[in-house]
Structure 1
Amino acid sequence: MSYRRTIVTLPGGTDYHPPVASSAPASLLPPTPLRGGAELAVFQGAGTCLDNVLMIWTEVEFIPLYEDQPLFAEVDQFLRSQGFLLHSFTGIATRRYKAFAQACPQRRPRRGQAIWTDAIYVRDFRHLEALSSLKLKKLAVLLDQVAGADDLCFEVLQLLDAREGTTLAPGYLGRIQ
């Protein structure tokens, strides 16, 4: 597990990773620069700390950019085993193959090779009722303010309304319409 030697260089590439959101007092951990390709090792090393995490925003690769780097499928499989589901991608970076780029320098392919993306994972929405009301409230804020996931935020607020007799979900709809 080296992740140290870059085997593909992308223009404007970065080792910055968006924050991991947790239900710990900070709720949103500060951004942490990582060595490229180390995301899975970080998640595996988190141990029981992941039990309190409500949302994860991480970079994932579809083709290897670093030696021995785990790809999306491996990261996805591990996070699913920890009770998370993929919510969305924030956009997929693609590339042109060299021969095409040289032959048609002004044209992008209609569908280029997927390279990497940021992936947003949330606690499994099929089991949200297992979360405490406090965690549901924090998750709703993260879904609305960080992920921009209005629909899942509304679902969480409806669960809170049913549990606590509040009217958060209708109020939320009124605010976003």
Structure 2
Amino acid sequence: MSFFVPTLKQWGYLDSIHLTLCIVGSRKIDEFADSDYSRQGWEIFAPNLTIYGFDADQEACDRRNAELASQNITWTEKHIPLALWNHCQGASLYVTQHPGCSSLYPPNDVVIDRLSEYSDRHKLISTTQVATTTLDNFFVNLQSPIDLIQLDVQGGELNVLLGGKNHIIPDVLAAVVEVNFVELYKHQPLFADVDQYLRNSQFTLFDIGQKWHGLRQGISLMSRQHRGQFVWTDGYYFRDLIRPDQNHHLKTPDRILKLACLADMLSFYDYALELLGYLTKRYGLSDRRYNFADCIIQSLENNPEAVKHGINTIPFVTELRKYTYLS
């Protein structure tokens, strides 16, 4: 749930921006409602919203596209039956007992056979050849940059990132990336590999999502402190476009506003507030398009919990009040 975006919409600040989201591994939308961006409030950006979904599952893409067509959506969204990778030469898809666990990496029996649930879900059923492409190749003529990318491709997240390293990833503002701490698939990159690549690309890890564990096969004994071996989670990464010691081509008011919206939509309210405050203090005196003082104050005052905790009186917010008469 967003905090500032509804008020930004009300005041017309969203009229001048267009958000583009890319979901790689979009068949998960069929399984998890929280993977469906249209159910998370992103439609508030319509019609200035474009969503691209990629998955090797043709039927899942067709089903999702048909569902969208029947809904008469007011934004642009399409799901493409292609596997994104770090090359365009095609690859083997290892189909598992649970379709959502299929991967371009083969299941690692040495590991999964020792973990409850994973041994069945990741059991190899068949192998098939699929077409692959890269982010850079598919979006070679992309007009609007991808602002947020979500990756859930069962161990192949780093390869997808590498496939967009020349043109697409340098423009991305935020990334939600599934990361593994256990080698469920043979030779797959783990969290350290993905994290190092993203940090070297000037992304900052802000938080992780729900932690998923695995218990030893046939053993249901666990302690209160530990629920088994830490297997995987989602990493939430953002650009830090207001660090004074970093220069980046994305460091423009419009991109920082987009970043604030993404942070807000992903429930990082403090970062969204910091970014909106930065824009107000840096540009708000000379350009009303970036004066969000009244918008910020209204958002805070309309939230009972924020008022209860006295957020209106903190120095950061108090300082913004001097800009309210301009907006």
Shift of 1:50: 1.3
Does residue 58 in structure 1 map to residue 160 in structure 2? no
2:230 pairs with 1:114: yes
The aligned amino acid for 2:252 is: S
Which structure exhibits the higher relative contact order, with contacts defined as CA atoms closer than 8 Å and separated by 6 or more residues? Answer: 1
1:36-115 → structure 2 map (5 Å cutoff): 36-47=154-165, 48-98=167-217, 100-101=219-220, 104=221, 110-111=225-226, 112-115=228-231
Aligned residue for 1:135, secondary structure, equals helix
Structure-2 change in CA distance of 1:126 and 1:100 (3 Å): farther
Structure 2 residue matching 1:139: 3-state secondary structure: helix
1:154/1:172 contact within 8 Å kept? no
Give the distance between the partners of 1:33 and 1:161, measured in 2 at CA. Answer: 36
- 2: CA distance between counterparts of 1:32 and 1:98? 28
Change in 2 beyond 3 A, CA 1:172/1:90:
same
Q: Secondary structure at the match of 2:210?
A: strand
Which residue identity lines up with residue 73 of structure 1 in the other structure?
A: A
What is the aligned partner in structure 1 of residue 300 from structure 2? 173
Structure 1 gaps of 5+ residues are 14-23
Q: Note the C-alpha offset of 1:127.
A: 2.5
- Quote the residue 1:123 is aligned against: 239
Q: Aligned-pair RMSD on alpha carbons?
A: 2.8
Contact in 2 for aligned 1:58/1:119 (Cα 8 Å): yes
Per the normalisation by structure 1, the TM-score is 0.76
Tell me by how many angstroms 1:38 deviates.
0.8
The alpha carbon displacement at 1:125 in A equals 5.6
**Hey, what's the Cα distance between the residues in 1 that align with 2:204 and 2:121?**
29
1:140 aligns to 2:140 (yes or no) = no
> Shift of the alpha carbon at 1:71?
0.3
In structure 1, C-alpha distance between the alignment counterparts of 2:252 and 2:242, rounded to whole Å: 15
The answer on whether the counterparts of 2:203 and 2:237 sit within 8 Å (CA) in structure 1 is yes
Q: Deviations over 1:122-153 (max 9, x none)?
A: 003662785111111111111111x2001111
SS at match of 1:98: coil
Normalising by structure 2, we get a TM-score of: 0.44
Shift in alpha-carbon separation, 1:32–1:119, aligned structure 2, 3 A: closer
Contact 2:145/2:171 (8 A) holds in 1: no
Tell me the alpha carbon deviations over residues 88-143 of structure 1, each in whole angstroms, 9 at most, x when there is no partner: 10111012223642xx4xx6653121100011100036627851111111111111
Which blocks of at least 5 consecutive residues in structure 2 are unaligned? 1-85, 87-91, 93-103, 123-143, 285-290, 307-327
Cα distance 1:83–1:28, how it changes in 2: closer, same or farther (>3 A)?
closer
**1:144 to 1:12, Cα distance in 2 relative to 1, 3 A:** farther
Larger radius of gyration between Structure 1 and Structure 2: 2
Aligned-pair CA distance for 1:174: 3.2
Between the aligned residues of both structures, percent identity stands at 29
Residue aligning to 2:134: none
1:125 and 1:117 map into 2 onto residues whose CA distance is 25
* 2:262 counterpart letter in structure 1: L
Shift in alpha-carbon separation, 1:27–1:126, aligned structure 2, 3 A: closer
Q: Is the 8 A contact 2:146 2:171 kept in 1?
A: no
